[in-house]
Amino acid sequence: MTAPQAIALQVNGERVEAHVLPRINLADFLREHLKLTGTHVGCEHGVCGACTVRVNGEIVRSCLMLAVQANEAVVETIEGLSDSGEISDLQEAFRARNALQCGYCTPAMLITAQELLKVEAEPDRDQIREHLSGNYCRCTGYQAIVDAVEATAKARKNKAPRNRDAGRAP
């Protein structure tokens, strides 16, 4: 049997050191070793998107990445994004618009939507659908999810000018 390997990484701002078997994927490592069960596992083949997390600032499917490949990486999960408040408005919009039912797809959907909103201030509905097309939802029919992302984009855009103006001379 292959021996466990030592890895060290940052997860949600905290340094983590562990010994893992080379075959353990990042999703299982997060869920089983670190008990970060907000990262869900659906297909385990890179199709459904339920296991989406951020690694070094980019979203990845953690079922397709080995834990040993995350050595020295910076990993952010839904727990980290929630605790920091980064997506609190997006979470509130999902709640307000009933954009989740069973909730299985929701953590990954939020992480993926946030990725879009970081680079595109006012995405149209087609852009939102396209960006979320790799994340499957078996409950909602997607309409309410697109509504929530669109509403969050508009709310953030309305906030932005006030923030910019705040530092300006009259």
Query: Of 8 and 96, which CB lies nearer to ligand FES in the complex structure?
Result: 96
Is 46 a binding residue for ligand FES by CB under 6 A? The answer is: yes
Q: How far apart are CA 5 and CA 25, in angstroms?
A: 13
Is 160 a binding residue for ligand FES by CB under 6 A? The answer is: no
Q: Least distance (Å) from ligand FES to the CB of residue 21?
A: 19
Q: Least distance (Å) from ligand FES to the CB of residue 16?
A: 21
Single out the residue of 30, 60, 87, 137 in contact with ligand FES (rule: CB under 6 A). 137
Query: Of 139 and 155, which CB lies nearer to ligand FES in the complex structure?
Result: 139
Contact stretch for ligand FES (CB under 6 A) within 8-16, 95-103, 116-124, 157-165: 95-103
Q: Least distance (Å) from ligand FES to the CB of residue 157?
A: 26
Contact positions vs ligand FES (CB under 6 A): 41-44, 46-51, 61, 63, 100-106, 137-140
